[in-house]
Amino acid sequence: MSSVFRAFNPVHRRWWILGSLWTLYASFGLVAGSLAPLLSDIRIDLNMSHASMGAALGAWPFVYLAVSTFAGKFLDRYGIQVGLTLGAVLIGVSGLLRAAAQSGLGLWLAVAVFGLGGPFISIGAPKLVTEWFSSEERGLAVGLYSTASSLGAITALVVADPLRALTGHWRWVMIIFGSISLISGLAWVAVSSSNPSKKNIESIDEPHDGLWRDPAVQRILFLAFMIFFVGHALSGWMPEMLHTGPWSTRGAAWLTAGGIAVGVIGSLIIPSRVKAHKRPQVLILMFAAMAVAVWALMASSQTPQIFAVAVIGIVRVSSVPMAMLLLMSSRSVPDARMGVAGGLFFTAGELGGVSGPWIIGVARQNSADFGSSVTILSVVAVLSAFACWRFWKSGFLQDA
């Protein structure tokens, strides 16, 4: 089967490679989002409390944090073909283990396995782009693959319950989603079998482990922390913020999903259209807009909230690929060490992703409304804009 893909010239082959990566990342989102629409059925079937279910849902980010740096080094040493295949297998196994879970502990372990595989996909994706695409094409490539996880998660939200009704049990949904990840892994092996990027794999003994000490890299890691802080916090709390205002529970959920959909469209356009030297300025404008837009979540009228959720959706979904492109274009990050750099990026990001929802929850619990929570989100957006300004002034481009 791999000979079919070798028949394409290199120009066509790299788009096949990107398409296969897209299916891997979509499977990532599909399995990651598989539990949310079926929580009640799973919790009752496994006789789990709300607290134990919450612990299971939070299992993979902590494992992800522990594995990210190792995954980056693994990808730099052994290459993206092996690393992405391993990621797809572990994510697929996580889905199948969820179907086999007989207790809360079993479900926790199954979700934790996802944290082992996830870093290989999210870190391998930007490394693939640096190896297969020129600097002029990387914006488009990153924008395209960045839509996959969101669309996979949206698909899980839409089809999980109908599949449960069709198959008769939630376990079959987990089997189907896990199998899709394994099939996407097989497709990746076939498409990537003739990988011309081995020339980029250097000796791991070279002194790049101090990459995190570089000031430009540190600014990007700080930015990653802030982006994931806001993104994960709003992912968990935005529906509740809207529901405390003029929206019903269903209306708040649909509006939040609509904001993500608008963000996906933005991710297709913004990273590919913005020139490398303009990315920090565009990010400054985006975070400034978010710093203002989050205050509309406290409004009593639906109209400003609709516009605000659209703005927030664009910033949430587009800021991650834009920040990753900053990392790719930095003179401090050679292409051959994009794995290590990506590992640092997602480690910093997931630290923000874990702490954001918790800090916003604590702020809400200790105040009468979401006013203090919105203040924190607005301040974080301003700090993100400041980090982009500092990065802009640092002379960051590889060819500067």
Give the range of the structural domain holding residue 260, as residue numbers without chain letter. 210-393
Q: Which of 127, 159, 191 is the last residue of a domain?
A: 191
Greater confidence (18 vs 250) lies with 18
Using pLDDT thresholds of 50, 70 and 90, give the confidence band for residue 103.
very high
Q: Coil, strand or helix: which one is 310? A: helix
Predicted local confidence at residue 11, as pLDDT: 62
Q: Examine the domain organization and report whether 214 and 351 are in the same domain.
A: yes
Nearest to 153 by CA among 267, 43, 235: 235
Taking 3-state DSSP, the helix, strand and coil percentages for the chain, each rounded to the nearest 5, stand at: 85, 0, 15
Q: Is residue 248 part of a domain?
A: yes
Predicted local confidence at residue 400, as pLDDT: 40
Q: Which of 191, 224, 244 is the last residue of a domain?
A: 191
Distance from C-alpha of 377 to C-alpha of 61, rounded to nearest angstrom? 21
Q: Examine the domain organization and report whether 155 and 292 are in the same domain.
A: no
Distance from C-alpha of 158 to C-alpha of 260, rounded to nearest angstrom? 14
Least confident of 28-32, 159-163, 371-375: 159-163
Q: Coil, strand or helix: which one is 330? A: strand
Q: Examine the domain organization and report whether 301 and 347 are in the same domain.
A: yes
Cβ atoms of residues 125 and 2 within 8 Å: no
The identity of residue 360, as a single letter, is I
Distance from C-alpha of 366 to C-alpha of 287, rounded to nearest angstrom? 26
Q: Which of 191, 225, 243 is the last residue of a domain?
A: 191
Q: Is residue 205 part of a domain?
A: no
- On the question of pLDDT at 165 being above 80, the answer is yes
Cβ atoms of residues 360 and 294 within 8 Å: no
- Which CATH number goes with the domain that contains 55? 1.20.1250.20
Predicted local confidence at residue 3, as pLDDT: 53
Q: Examine the domain organization and report whether 161 and 91 are in the same domain.
A: yes
Using pLDDT thresholds of 50, 70 and 90, give the confidence band for residue 319.
very high
Q: Examine the domain organization and report whether 216 and 307 are in the same domain.
A: yes
Q: Examine the domain organization and report whether 185 and 89 are in the same domain.
A: yes
Q: Examine the domain organization and report whether 76 and 177 are in the same domain.
A: yes
Q: Six-digit token pair at 260?
A: 């993500």
What's this model's pTM, rounded to 2 decimal places? 0.82
Average pLDDT over residues 7-15: 67
What is the number of structural domains in the chain?
A: 2
Q: Examine the domain organization and report whether 19 and 123 are in the same domain.
A: yes
Q: Examine the domain organization and report whether 141 and 221 are in the same domain.
A: no
Q: Examine the domain organization and report whether 39 and 93 are in the same domain.
A: yes
Greater confidence (380 vs 161) lies with 380
One DSSP character per residue, 338-363 reads HHHHHHHHHHHHHHHHHHHHHHHHHH
Average pLDDT over residues 74-94: 94
Cβ atoms of residues 378 and 252 within 8 Å: no
Residues 6+ apart with CB under 8 A from 163: 172, 173, 176
Distance from C-alpha of 47 to C-alpha of 214, rounded to nearest angstrom? 49
Q: Examine the domain organization and report whether 46 and 173 are in the same domain.
A: yes
Cβ atoms of residues 17 and 128 within 8 Å: yes
The fraction of the chain above a pLDDT of 70, given in percent, is 92
Q: Is residue 199 part of a domain?
A: no
Using pLDDT thresholds of 50, 70 and 90, give the confidence band for residue 299.
confident
Average pLDDT over residues 162-169: 92
Q: Is residue 202 part of a domain?
A: no
Average pLDDT, the chain: 86
- On the question of pLDDT at 194 being above 70, the answer is no
Q: Is residue 398 part of a domain?
A: no
Q: Is residue 197 part of a domain?
A: no
Distance from C-alpha of 207 to C-alpha of 286, rounded to nearest angstrom? 36
